[in-house]
Amino acid sequence: MKKERSLAGRLLQYGALTLFVHVAACSDAAPPPPPAANAAEQGTAADAATDAKLVVAFGDSLYAGYNLDQGKGLAPVLEKALNASGIKARVVNAGVSGDTTAAGLARLAFTLDGLPRKPDLMLVGLGGNDMLRGLSPKETRSNLDAILTEAQKRGIPVILTGMLASPNMGPDYAAAFNPIYPELAKAHGATLYPFMLDGVTGHRALQLPDGIHPNDKGVTVIVGKLAPVVAKALKP
């Protein structure tokens, strides 16, 4: 709880910008259909499938590389970090800007079925858009629970990257939303990365002009913290 309060404290700037974010930050005006993981990236994933760990990054704009140049988003930077650490891996970008947990659940089977084989690991990062739109935490929990259940059925290990409610959503909302990630990770035996934006929130030099999304330097900070967790999950 102490760690969670500390992380929530670093969201003060996040909360101040929420009204803007509702319109622009975590969603594009017209979110695209199912992700590139099932089209352009499928061939490269297939090429690497025989001798590399296959990781699918399944999430929203924080995974998709929102407003970043090609090669600067989470998936390619994480892939480079893993390979540099001695773990041969292919990280498939299955992030879609604007996705809620309901939208993610709706495309989950399509995404997984479109991969060349069962992933060795799936990163799940959804729920931020639910929170910013004020959707019911009960719905967020139910959708994430269904996503993790499907991953379990398919025998896919999961790292769940968490989100925290913006302070201006109010204490009641935060009390219902914030426990979703640790409780579901525990229930499903998933690895928890408590806060996806840890190390970036509150640091404008690491953010895009919207004050929320990481820029390329911010992605590097996130990967620096996340890659060791991913590497550990991929080791036998």
CATH, residue 9: 3.40.50.1110
Q: Which of 120, 145, 210, 216 is catalytic?
A: 210
Note if 210 is an active site residue: yes
> Checking DSSP bridges between strand 53-59 and strand 158-161, what pairing results, if any?
unpaired
- Cα–Cα distance between 67 and 34 in angstroms, integer? 18
Q: Can you give the residue range of the structural domain that contains 30?
A: 2-234
Where the chain has pLDDT below 50, the residues are 1-13, 15-25, 27-49
> How many domains does the chain contain in total?
1
Predicted confidence at residue 236, as pLDDT, reads 78
Predicted confidence at residue 50, as pLDDT, reads 65
Helices (H), the chain: 2-9, 12-16, 18-23, 40-48, 61-64, 74-84, 101-113, 128-132, 137-153, 171-177, 180-188, 216-234
Note if 136 is an active site residue: no
Q: Do residues 192 and 181 touch, judged by C-beta distance below 8 A?
A: yes
Number of Cα atoms under 13 Å in the Cβ half of residue 78: 28
Note if 142 is an active site residue: no
Q: Which two tokens stand for residue 160?
A: 């769940």
Predicted confidence at residue 179, as pLDDT, reads 98
Q: Which of 61, 97, 130, 198 is catalytic?
A: 61
Helices (H), 71-215: 74-84, 101-113, 128-132, 137-153, 171-177, 180-188
